[in-house]
Structure 1
Amino acid sequence: MSQDGKVTHGESNNKQTKRRQWGTKIKSVFQTKQRDKSSSIKKDKMLRQTPEILPFIQMHDDHILLKNGVMDILQIQTKNIHALNDTDLNVLLMNRTRFLRSYFRSYKEIILNFPANTQAQRTYWLKKREQTTSPIRLEYIDQKLVEFDFLERERSNREFFIFVYADDKQELVDRKHDAIQGMQQAFPLTELTRTKKEQILFLLNNQNTKL
């Protein structure tokens, strides 16, 4: 075979190789676009379904309107059971058991981690700072304020809540009263502000997000 024939044959192979490479690239781009399109469709569907999954409709100061009925959130005041003696611990457990046996209506208890709140301590030390002119005292107070910043940024408190459910608002008032009375001798319940309730629902439905 002549040298010209070899060159022609080599050029033909190069052209075929380039065609295959271009075909592979076009196919890869097309598949990527198809995946992006399908993933965006799935995300859109998920976003449209979210309001249908969540049961909450509207937030009020004294209740939360649901698709089926109403509810409210109360905070459970915890106690350090490790600091109690055996007698006090048994009394606490009996009071708790009495509530569980007597309150047969629908409720739910949840546990959430909230950022540490040092607002009361911060207010106290800021007031002390305004009342002193001692450099040593001012340095000490500034150090305390830095510690409060660290606690709010890095530490969290574990808080306990109870969801009380009812068919209507009046029934909810009665059930909340029964729950508060039933838990009074064990772990007292306290009312929450609307802002706190919103934070609870936010954390409950966004568990990988911090406030």
Structure 2
Amino acid sequence: MRFNLRKTFPLLTTKKVFWRGVVEELLWFISGSTNAKVLQEKDIHIWDGNASRDFLDSIGLTSREEGDLGPVYGFQWRHFGARYTDMHTDYTGQGFDQLLDVIDKIKNNPNDRRIILSAWNPSDLKLMALPPCHMFAQFYVANEELSCQMYQRSADMGLGVPFNIASYALLTCMITHVCDLIPGDFIHVLGDFKT
């Protein structure tokens, strides 16, 4: 699916999309947090099921504190390769900050074809409450426009996909703003999906 971000924003209008949830979750990812309680305190409950004691126990994460999702999206974006301890640890300076690298490449080497943000880290999958569904984004700069292509390995068309489209379109617009560019296209590639 391709969405033009130049003068429009792809927020589904035939179904209510939890916009505040989209924004808060994206900011939570950007912060590098893995603590679902941060979202719960803002009345965002999209991660509650995967952060519950029962769920964590059911997938073998019995020593994990309730609310600790493990090295999920934000951790991978901001600390890729760091050794995960828990949601309370300060990981400043640990691992590779992919988001910072994306922004740096866009600003300083916009023709680079390796402007990539990945949440998929095979060595950490067993530590995650839920493996990443939207897992890989590549950014392109052409004619002062920033475009993003995101691959989603698993997609729930009715529930998650409208949310994910809005989230990555917003991320693209945010990076565009920081890098003083114009939004281009958001391209969404789906792997396994269900309706």
User: Scaled by the length of structure 2, what TM-score is found?
Assistant: 0.20
Higher relative contact order (CA 8 A, sep 6+): 1
Counting helix residues as a fraction of each chain, which structure ranks higher?
1
User: Scaled by the length of structure 1, what TM-score is found?
Assistant: 0.19
